[in-house]
Chains A and B, each alone.
Chain A
């Protein structure tokens, strides 16, 4: 069969980094093709070139047997290439069909669009109401908008960048059915994910990248997840060792009856949230994005403050009305969800970004002046300990790949040995090897007495590290249950909340 898309010796260099080094790749029609690799291996660069966001320095792209150049995303779309990004580009105040009409050619956006949205979304099992406003939709539904937007343009190749990282297990299964259906109709899918199990079940072929080169091709269903991870890393994978359940220590961090209206009109109000974090304990909080996790994080970090200080008590001290700097001074560490622009300043160097959260506790300041040498040393030690791939700490944070920056941001907090650590999505976009390393660091930190709160959508992650697990849904936090006494399915159902519980039951029954 003639490949739909062939890449020959595709090359892309950034200052100080060879992102893609002579990549060869063939994608057949109807093939679900996984692109695997550690963070910084060059996956994103490669698909951005295919989608016309970046232009290759060298090499050839062949589409249906003809050499082509793809200069812009709109050129890619007119060839029949669609892409669903990890971050959605949707306007919350607009309806589904308004959002869709903004991202497609004018001819397609004409009358009858609503009906076509309904037809396409129904026939692919992605139910969508074109008149709903986006802010009222779940993340899974928002992703459907992006997928339907691509499908309306009859793509021949669909690129998906970590589509399942925002979905419940049930939603993910539904997505897989859609993808298999597309594949049977001859649509090729280029699939990026760090979840190796789903790649084994879904994909026909996998191409593994390491440090910008193709290192091997394989049929993922014949490999084990561990084998795939080791091919990506080029070395053995050490999975984190979960310790025996600790004797619960005294309460180190307590939240009691925390309620808060959101600052953002589309935010989620927090309703009567209470939990205890004990010495040496890891509490996992599951839940789909947009159920109040960000709002809770803002309250816990001090970016939003409460008028009543004692809703949050840290080691006996009410901290609810303190700001982030004061809370850090007491030994609180935290990792927000957004890497660029929230956890890190994109246009500042890594060492300055290290300084950003470590200036107080690490003594990186003297009379208000930045101690550059010490700050650089701090950043270097984070880079080494967490295996951050960078050409130096005087490069800007924006030059790092997403997963590498995530390693830096999480590492920056762990390196400071916090008394209490609160992390939102600690391994979001991080490859298996590094995720295992971060999990191990979290477990070690807890073993040394730190109380850790992990808020994550990744259930495997929660089960890998947590002592107890609870779930956030619509601003409420469920009672925590010991991780050993619950299952992925139960937590998945809780994540779906009351609204979707019925739906899930049906599916379980069918």
Chain B
């Protein structure tokens, strides 16, 4: 058997592939549940339908989708320009820590400026963390995949350091947790009685803005040209280094803001684990969404559902936590498989 390049690539299939990948994931999921000795139909219902069959469930979907979409949009700028920032998780963590520092420094100060300030400082924090791989890439041509990924672990250790030290709640019986944020430092809720916060609205705004910038603004144009034809970008006079910096700054800011949205939203305080891997899952979201803001929005909802479904399956069916990762992994696997078959065909000798 050989793999050979197709001479013509179907446009339709490029957009159909994410949907096919979702369907294949479902089918593989059915088989998986069958092998595990569960009723597959029930399991799929528990996984994909039950979590969103209530208002509360839908709100939770928004809560989980918010950081995923936000980070994925940020990453997509870089991915389109062939800048491979894998370290959004670390940028999220440092961003969250920066914003939280502000919240805790002004503990019990009731100012309407506090929340915007926190968001701003978080963005700066994420950007600062992203600046390191950007600098190493533009100055020393260091591979950004390695540097950004390794910095993620540094970032998580800094979180650990702070939460066991200076950020620890003085009245918290030595638990590694910060004080609960006061109301002025918390994101207002969108729907009473749920955890859906205004971050979701901001994300919708970000999706629209990113759409316009990528499609119609010179910045998006440069990103696309550099990604598709680096030499044509140099012909046009676009600077590769500037775009590397821009990509990292956009991604860092988005991840940082996503981090403070978690802390000032559903969590309400700094805890040892701020994100269940949103920074990594967002990479899948970006690609399932075909690096297009609107695609990313829907991909984010699908991925959020896999988190909710996995949790529900743990509660209802006693499934292991790993089932979330398995489903996310299968989705990416099938998508990449479809992509290979779009560009290549198998030939049986």
Contact surface of A with B, Cβ cutoff 8 Å: 14, 53-55, 72, 301-303, 323-326, 328, 336, 338, 340-348, 352, 355-357, 359, 365, 368-370, 372
Contacts and interface: CB of A to CB of B under 8 A. Distances in A.
Given A54-B7, A342-B231, A346-B229, A370 B236 contact: no
Interface of B: 4, 7-8, 216-219, 221, 224-225, 228-229, 231-232, 234-237, 239, 347
B224 A303 contact: no
B217 A356 contact: no
A54 B218 CA distance: 37
B7 A303 contact: no
Contacts of A359: 218
The 10 closest A-B pairs by CB, nearest first: A325-B237, A324-B237, A342-B231, A345-B229, A341-B229, A345-B232, A368-B218, A356-B236, A303-B234, A323-B237
Contacts of A303: 234-235
A348 B226 CA distance: 12
Contacts of A346: 228-229
Contact of A370 (B221, B228, B347): B221
B232 A344 contact: yes
**Most chain B beta carbons < 10 A, residue from A53, A55, A342:** A342
Contacts of A342: 229, 231-232, 235
Given A345-B228, A346-B229, A372 B216 contact: yes
A301 B236 CA distance: 10
25 contacts: A72-B4, A301-B235, A303-B234, A323-B237, A324-B234, A324-B235, A324-B237, A325-B236, A338-B231, A340-B229, A341-B229, A341-B232, A342-B232, A343-B232, A346-B229, A347-B229, A348-B224, A348-B225, A352-B221, A368-B217, A369-B217, A369-B218, A370-B217, A370-B218, A372-B216
A345 B225 contact: yes
Contact of B216 (A344, A347, A370): A370
Nearest to A347: B228
A341 B231 contact: yes
Given A348-B228, A355-B221, 17 more contacts: A54-B7, A72-B4, A323-B239, A324-B235, A325-B236, A325-B237, A336-B235, A338-B231, A343-B232, A344-B229, A344-B232, A346-B228, A352-B221, A356-B232, A368-B218, A368-B219, A370-B218
Contacts of B216: 369-370, 372
Contacts of B221: 352, 355, 370
A347 B221 CA distance: 12
Nearest to B230: A341
Instruction: Among B228, B229, B231, B235, find the residue whose CB has the most chain A CB atoms closer than 10 A.
Output: B235
Contacts of A72: 4, 347
Nearest to A327: B237
B192 to A, nearest CB: 40
Contacts of A340: 229
B219 A357 contact: no
Contacts of A369: 216-218
A340 B232 CA distance: 8
A328 B7 CA distance: 37
- Which of B224, B232, B239 is the most central at the interface, judged by chain A CB atoms within 10 Å of its CB? B232
A345 B239 CA distance: 16
Nearest to A346: B229
Nearest to A409: B235
A123 to B, nearest CB: 34
A357 B233 CA distance: 10
Contacts of B232: 341-345, 356
Contacts of B218: 359, 365, 368-370
Nearest to B236: A356
A356 B228 CA distance: 13
B219 A324 contact: no
B56 to A, nearest CB: 41
Nearest to B224: A348
A53 B228 CA distance: 24
Contacts of A347: 228-229
Contacts of A14: 8
B228 A343 contact: no
A345 B233 CA distance: 9
Contacts of B224: 345, 348
B243 to A, nearest CB: 14
Contacts of A324: 234-237
B224 to A, nearest CB: 7
A328 B228 contact: no
Contacts of A343: 232, 235
Nearest to A335: B235
B162 to A, nearest CB: 39
Contacts of B239: 323
Contacts of B237: 302, 323-326, 328
A301 B232 CA distance: 12
A395 to B, nearest CB: 12
A366 to B, nearest CB: 10
B347 to A, nearest CB: 8
Nearest to B218: A368
Contact of B236 (A53, A357, A365): A357
A369 B218 CA distance: 6
